[in-house]
Structure 1
Amino acid sequence: MRAMPDLSYFPESQLAAHAMANPVAFGQAHREEIKHLADIADLMLRPFDEAKAAIEAALKSDQPMQRYWGAMVCTAFGKQAAPLADLARPLLDDTAEVVRVRALEFLGSIGEIQPQPALIKLINTTTDPVLAVEALNSVVWFKDHFNGRHPVQRSDFHPIVKGGDVDDRLNYLNGIPYPAEAKGKKKKGKK
């Protein structure tokens, strides 16, 4: 897998903003960065004590995608990574919105913060519809998987970007299944 530049190490919002015009050229131009991101992601496969120093370096990196993956690795380790909470806290104000989302996931998942207010604010203010969906995915994760500790209401959300998956995710918060069926259309049976 490391022989080719695997673009999945970049979040969709980054790919939409920077790679869609020519994904092959983007992958080639970021080949070394992708290898490094893969190394950071692989830290979650090692014992925490063995990986801790490298995770700390990722969280402190001047490269946003390294900070992004550092926070994701922390989330994968869960409470075991709680000693890194103080290093992750500054990422809540990161210049890269997607890094903020991952920091909110980590710190919220270990009970250090209530993540929903910051996620709601980001969703309501971002001009990037792909990032809004990424953040909404986090909102739903907290809502659905933390035994009611992170509730939200559809009325909390007033995003400035609309359409596509943003609407579908907001519908899900209203209890409408994903994907929502078109009004007035009936499913066709098999012939």
Structure 2
Amino acid sequence: MWKIIGAGLAGYFVLGLFAVTLDQLLPGRALREAERLQARQDEAAERQARQAARAVERRIREAAREARQLDREARAAADQAEQARRDAIRQAVCRRSPSCWADHHLADAHYACRASLESLARYRSRWTTRPGERRFTRVVSVADGGHGVIIYAGDRIELQNGFGAWQPHTYACAYDPERGTGLALSMQAGRL
């Protein structure tokens, strides 16, 4: 019985080997293998084409993003240029009006003239202004139609005399807008 089973298995094995060899010898098998190989190559080519298409789409999106950024930057530069042009026009118009030009430089004159005015005190000085209040209450003159020195005056300082008493004083300061410097011109006891 074992011989029969062994012979059957041996025959089955030989038959399988013959079938495999026969499949390899027959042209249909080689054709199927060639078709499978071609299909795999086609799939690989499709995959590469899809990857290339995605890469191109990514580059297009990046280029569009960069173009939008450049457009935003160009618009911002144009807006800044327009704002600078408007500011130049406003400043030119303000220069024609002495009161506008003097008001435009008033805050700068406060800081530029402060030390110069305080240095005129023989003993000590103190300002009587509150926060946000102006030190200069008058514009005495604006030279050269707004191109030269502006003379401001006020009476918001007190100087201590030799006896320690505080006296209010009037003062005048010449402010040069081109240089941003202030020079104290006079200091006298009294009010404006």
TM-score w.r.t. the length of structure 2 is: 0.20
Q: Which protein has the bigger strand share?
A: 2
Q: Which protein has the bigger helix share?
A: 1
